[in-house]
Amino acid sequence: MSELKGYKGKIRDFLISNKVDVGDLVKITSELTYSGILMPRYESGDEGHIVLKLKSGYNIGIEFEKIEKIEKVGEGKPNIESSETVEKDESLPKILLLSTGGTIASKVDYRTGAVTPALSASELYEAVPEIAKIANVDAEVLFSEYSENLQPEHWLEIAKKLDSIAESNYAGIIIAHGTDTMHYSSAFLSFALSGYKKPITLVGSQRSSDRPSSDAALNLIAATKFLVNTKSTGVFVVMHQNESDDAIACHLGTRVRKNHTSKRSAFQTVGSEPAFVVYEDKILKNIEKEFFSKKDYNPRISLDTKVALVKYHPGFNPEIIESLIKLQYKAIIFEGTGLGHVGKTMYDSIKSAKENGMFLGMTSQCIDGRVSMTVYESGRDLLDMGIIPLENMIPEVALVKAMWAVGNCNTNDEIKDMMLENYSSEF
């Protein structure tokens, strides 16, 4: 018997008495009859339920008090590595897949029901065999973290790794990344590696590979096709364009944000169409200007996290700004209302922040459009106080760019100049 992770008391005793283990295929008779794999439980979860992974890939909780019977109908099957060796076609281009912890390519461990990343090249080929016909893939694990746990120091580590292979013979790089903070990472890499001469794609999946509706394999295949066929360079986020499987979008890393919690088409280019769309074997181009290809490669892999993103709202306490001053923050990016406004209750704190040498930038809470602070009196007042309008830069991108600018500049004027220069299509 396993430790029946997460199961306690009478539920644990019930499972043991029925000789059922985590990872076993079971049938449970309750108000309805359910069949699935018995899953481990979170230690802090509700103790009154048994968790099953259904054939669909979804997990459900079944109330213990309503269970009439549980039957073991099969043992969990251990993963069996494929004995077939994928023959590499040396004529195909090489790409590198760096894993940061996303489950873009993953497999199900039927002993536990858990989804685990497929991290070696052989596992990738086994999980998504179509890739072997497009490119030769080298795979490497940088770290294994949910994307909400990725911090600016992780961005630095990714950037340094990419810089170390800038002169390699890879046609391009895939970064397997969780979706929650993928647009933050893509923004930093766009700035830190400006002019990088290989295409870089960040790829994720909204639904893990054990679910029939998973977007994992298709996103990975499309990213591979894009890398080996594009003539463009830069940083892109590659995800489903819509809920069908026909088109995969390649968004510029500084113009994209996650706009839905769960849809496969959660990522959208703000203010325009995706830069490219992978449709079957075609790469459809929407972008007009390509900043990366025109720039010399000039890596600046540094940042400073003493930057705050402040979302203004009615009732906002200006003492928060005073706290940032006391904490010696170096920049504030305001997410203002409409064309770039905050209430006059903020004015004294904004003046104090400016007097203390902080860079102050303005973006808008609106999803689309640009700030225009000369239209109304309140906007003009804020301009007079020294707030810099950041056009149509996405607030999250402005935050990341400010961290990068502060980390690479010595004076407020240098920060301002860097924030207003269009490095990677952020405007």
Q: Which residues are catalytic?
A: 103, 179-180, 258
Give me 44's structure tokens: 């802090």
If phi > 0 it is left, if psi is from -120 to 50 it is alpha, else beta; for residue 57 that is left
Q: Where are the beta strands (DSSP E) in 192-288?
A: 199-203, 234-240, 247-252, 256-258, 267-269, 276-279, 282-285
Residue type, 21: D
Give me 282's structure tokens: 């075609």
Residue 172 DSSP symbol: E
Give me 90's structure tokens: 């040396």
Following CA atoms 288, 291, 293, 295 in sequence, which dihedral angle do they give, to the nearest 10 degrees? 150
49-53 β-sheet, strand order = 59-63, 49-53, 33-38, 25-29, 69-74
Q: Where are the beta strands (DSSP E) in 161-306?
A: 172-176, 199-203, 234-240, 247-252, 256-258, 267-269, 276-279, 282-285
Beta strand pairing call for 234-240 and 199-203: parallel
CA distance 286 to 73: 53
Closest CA to 197 of 297, 289, 93, 298: 297
Contact present, 59 and 51 (Cβ < 8 Å): yes
Residue type, 65: E
Count of CB atoms situated within 10 Å of the CB of 314? 7
Instruction: Kindly give, in sequence order, each residue whose CB lies less than 8 Å from that of residue 417, ignoring residues fewer than 6 positions away.
Output: none
Give me 333's structure tokens: 């990016």
Count of CB atoms situated within 10 Å of the CB of 55? 11
Closest CA to 23 of 12, 8, 35, 39: 39
